[in-house]
Amino acid sequence: MPRQNLLFLRIKDEAILPDEQKLIRSCLEGDRQAFEKIVEKYRDALYWTAYNLVLDSEDARDVTQQAFLKIWRSLPEYDANRSFPGWAHKITANCAIDLLRSRRESEPLVDNVPAEHSTLDQRIDVRRIFSRIAPLLPQRQRIVLVLREIHGMEIAEISELLQCTESTVRNLLSQAKDSFRKRTKELFPDYGL
Amino acid sequence: MDCNRIPNAESWDEASAQQLYEYRNHVKFCLACRRRVFSESPIPLLHELKGEPMPDEFWIGFWESLENKLPPADKRYHLPLLPVVRWAAALIVALLLALYQNKLPESPSYEISRGGSPIRPFDLSPDPSLYPLIEEVKEPGSTYAIFEADRDQKIVMIFNPDIEL
């Protein structure tokens, strides 16, 4: 039940607006100005999806551009009954995963990462914590954690993107959560985890 | 929302979407709950990484560069390429097979010579001079006898099984 509700909220939250439908229709007719408006609206959100996966600002910008290019090309296949942002995020995640695959997977850092004692941030800057810990996670665990816990993607969608079974995704997610907790405890002991 | 209503971070997975929305909003601004939730598990706070707007300067040149790469609208593919290629390949293979099968009986690659005259290997019609036709033999126990009068004449006689020869 909670998962269904979550899905409902996501769809409601990201439901396509009439203006946006008009923009998409114009894009289908080749109107580049309409596409520029779509780019302006979604570039930040897609950039963060890319950044959380590739963990590099320049690469994330390139991935975002790749994703928009793919969106433009694939617009004739877009099903207007589905959420446009959801579709666009999926394309972006796919582009980011392609980039990660093309990179030689480096071993995640294990040792020599000092704990942070001196700069206890009262607000708890999640971005800073994530930036420290995410590179330490194995790539597939990180992808699953980001797509599920940050971007709220369904397990089935993630399994499709990673070309693996849903149970594999669940296992990776569970391992990723455990690793993330463990690493946070090690590297940010002052937060009392 | 009352701080007491924010449950343990480990149980946020079971919350409804509405509850989740309220919890997230609360811990965004309530420092005490934020610290408490984070100390229980940092995972629920990861949701905040969904992203905030980047400064406009970051996007300078982005659209121009993208626009240069956009293909004209009529050059966009309307069907996923791979399935089209797969179906086309299957159709071509099926066509080739059909053509090849129809061609086989009509074009023997060799001929067999029998008695000086060539015989096509797939020509199965019997030669009536060599194999005389016997109209109806209903009795499976019949016996037969062949009399050879001369080189070109044969007399075949069929007898009922009850006739003693």
- Boundaries of every domain in chain B: 3-50, 126-165
Residue B108 has pLDDT above 80, yes or no: no
Residue A32 CB neighbour total at 10 angstroms: 16
- Asked if the Cβ–Cβ distance from A130 to B49 is below 8 Å, we say yes
By C-alpha distance, the chain B residue nearest A120 is: B35
For the stretch B10-59, pLDDT in tens is 888 888 888 888 888 898 888 888 888 888 888 999 988 887 789 989 99
Per-residue pLDDT at B87: 86
The Cα–Cα gap between A85 and B51 comes to 14
A29-38, A105-114, B92-101: which range is least confident on average? A105-114
Q: Provide the total of helices (H) and of strands (E) in chain A, helices listed first.
A: 9, 0
Domain identity same for A4 and A85: yes
For residues A144 and A141, what is the distance between their CA atoms, to the nearest angstrom? 5
Percentage with pLDDT > 90 across chain A? 52
- Mean pLDDT (whole number) for B105-133: 55
CATH of the domain at A83: 1.10.1740.10
pTM, full prediction: 0.66
pLDDT tens digits, A39-72 = 999 999 999 999 999 999 999 999 999 999 999 9
Looking at the predicted structure, is the pLDDT value of residue B149 above 70? Answer: yes
pLDDT score of A16: 53
Q: Are residues A81 and A124 in the same domain?
A: no
Q: Which of A45, A80, A103 is the last residue of a domain?
A: A103
User: Given A40, A124, A145, which is nearest B38 (Cβ)?
Assistant: A124
Residues A181 and A115 reside in one and the same domain: yes
Confidence at residue B134, expressed as pLDDT on a 0 to 100 scale: 64
Chain B 30-89, residues with CB within 8 Å of chain A CB atoms: 31, 34-35, 38-39, 41-43, 45-54, 58-59, 62-63, 65-67, 69-74, 76-80
3-state class (DSSP) for residue A68: helix
Indicate whether A111 and A48 sit together in one domain. no
Are A58 and A17 members of one domain?
Answer: yes
Q: How much of chain B, in percent, has pLDDT values that exceed 70?
A: 72
Q: Return the number of other C-beta atoms located less than 10 Å from residue A159's C-beta.
A: 18
Check residue A3 and give its pLDDT.
44
How far does A163 lie from chain B, in Å, by closest CA? 17
For A24-38, A94-108, B118-132, which range has the lowest pLDDT when averaged over its residues? Answer: B118-132
Strands B117-119 and B143-150, by their bridges, are unpaired
Residues A48 and A118 in one domain: no
Q: Which of A85, A103, A121 corresponds to the end of one domain?
A: A103
- From A103, A134, A150, the end of a domain falls on A103
Question: A160 and A179: one domain?
Answer: yes
Question: What is the total count of domains within chain A?
Answer: 2
Q: A115 and A86 in one domain? A: no
Q: What pLDDT is recorded for position A58?
A: 93
Select the residue from A46, A48, A144, A188 to test the B interface by mutation, using most B Cβ atoms within 10 A: A48
CA distance A41 to chain B (A): 10
Residue B55 to residue B3: CA distance in whole angstroms? 34
Chains A & B: contacts with CB separation below 8 Å: 117
Q: Which residue of A has its CA nearest to B13?
A: A2
pLDDT at A13: 44
Q: Are residues A98 and A28 both part of a single domain?
A: yes
Confidence of residue B156 (pLDDT cuts 50, 70, 90): confident
**In which domain, by residue range, is A122 found?**
107-193
Question: Does A80 share its domain with A115?
Answer: no
B15 to chain A: which residues are within 8 Å by CB?
A: 2
Which of B19, B41, B46, B81 should one mutate to test binding to chain A, selecting the residue with the greatest count of A CBs within 10 A?
A: B46
Q: Is the distance from CB of A136 to CB of A188 less than 8 angstroms?
A: no
Same domain, A114 and A85: no
Report the gap between the CA of A106 and the closest CA in chain B (Å): 24
Mutate to test the interface with A, among B20, B25, B29, B43 (most CBs of A within 10 A): B43
Instruction: Give pLDDT, residue A192.
Output: 61
* DSSP bridge partners of B75: none
Which chain A residues have a beta carbon less than 8 Å from that of B57?
none
- Each residue of B51-86: pLDDT tens digit? 778 998 999 999 999 999 988 876 665 555 667 788
> Does A9 have pLDDT greater than 50?
no
Q: Which residues of B touch A151 (CB under 8 A)?
A: 50
Q: What number is the ipTM of this complex?
A: 0.76
Tell me what pLDDT residue B132 has: 56
Q: Does B147 touch chain A if contact means CB atoms closer than 8 Å?
A: no
pLDDT at A96: 94
